[in-house]
Structure 1
Amino acid sequence: MTDLIIEADGGSRGNPGIAGAGALVRNTDGEILATKAVPLGKASNNVAEYTGLIEGLKLAREIDPAASVEVLMDSKLVVEQMSGRWKIKHEDMKRLAAEAASILSPMQVTYTWIPRAKNGDADALSNEAMDASAAGTDWDPAASRVG
């Protein structure tokens, strides 16, 4: 049974380039419980995707550290690597994956790939983060279009 749903995304305008990550947590009724967007400065798309995952897991842990969590992402790479089906070869990705796996017990978390079209809220948050990154500012949750 899933208690919380994380939707996460990350992006980079250029690879590497201006990057940002976004995540949100929903309850099983679809209500958004928390959102976060993180401007990353210059980073790769994969670093941004993993950062979105990490931030989403942290939000879920703050809400309920004992919850069963389903992570929805449009990054096939992150979903497959975190599910253990694909090897992680790059050292930065190994570090980020280990950080993500340490936030909640891997027994609590499942990973599901979704098409980009179904990840609109997390994509919007990652774009807000990239906009803030490009402007050299922090993300303003009060100005967010999500939540």
Structure 2
Amino acid sequence: MTTLIIEADGGSRGNPGIAGAGALVRDEAGRILATKATPIGKASNNVAEYTGLIDGLKLVREIDPEAAVEVRMDSKLVVEQMSGRWKIKHADMKRLAQEASQILPLMNVTFTWIPRAQNGDADALSNEAMDAAAAGQDWDPARSRVRPGA
């Protein structure tokens, strides 16, 4: 079974504020296979974090829906909620967690919290998404500093 790694992040400038999400998929050798940055508009940081997770899971589904997946995020909230260790109380988070749980078989997905310093590529993508959202534009992957093949 193939193992793929998702690195995902989200942020908002203000909470709520201009928000964006970033996600990428790596193979076991660390090569980036796919990237995505999503300008969200006005949203909370937590909504942006979940959006990054959802984007990453969808990228994996396009690459290999049968893969074993390790999700790496610096959001303790998302990691603990998706791992089932913390309850999800907020309606927006419940909806997003439900959406995330239906993209891939969760028995193939593990969640790992990583320090922010180890999540630089996903953070860069989320910042590119926030910049695009602030400018009222779509994200342009051709101008991204994080690209597949790296």
Q: TM-score surpassing 0.5? A: yes
Give the AA of the match of 1:29: A
C-alpha separation in 1, matches of 2:31 and 2:127 = 21
The offset of 1:120, in angstroms, is 0.1
Segments ≥4 residues shifted beyond 2 Å? none
Give the AA of the match of 1:116: R
Matches within 5 A, 1:64-75: 64-75=64-75
1:26 aligns with 26
Matches within 5 A, 1:109-128: 109-128=109-128
Unaligned residue ranges in structure 2 (runs of 5+): none
2:143 aligns with 143
The answer as to whether partners of 1:40 and 1:48 remain within 8 angstroms in 2 is: yes
The offset of 1:3, in angstroms, is 0.7
1:76 aligns with 76
Matches within 5 A, 1:3-82: 3-82=3-82
Instruction: Report Cα offsets for 1:15-67 as digits up to 9, x if no partner.
Output: 00000000000000000000000000000000000000000000001000000
Aligned residues: 147
C-alpha separation in 1, matches of 2:121 and 2:26 = 11
The offset of 1:2, in angstroms, is 6.3
The offset of 1:6, in angstroms, is 0.1
Identity of aligned residues (%): 83
Give the AA of the match of 2:8: A
TM-score by length of 1: 0.99
C-alpha separation in 1, matches of 2:94 and 2:57 = 17
C-alpha separation in 2, matches of 1:34 and 1:111 = 19
Relative to 1, partners in 2 of residues 1:6 and 1:43: Cα closer, same or farther, differing over 3 Å? Answer: same
Instruction: Report Cα offsets for 1:82-136 as digits up to 9, x if no partner.
Output: 0000000001100000000000011010000000000000000000000000000
C-alpha separation in 1, matches of 2:140 and 2:109 = 29
The answer as to whether partners of 1:2 and 1:70 remain within 8 angstroms in 2 is: no
Root-mean-square deviation (Å)? 0.8
Unaligned residue ranges in structure 1 (runs of 5+): none
TM-score by length of 2: 0.97
Give the AA of the match of 1:134: A
1:129 aligns with 129
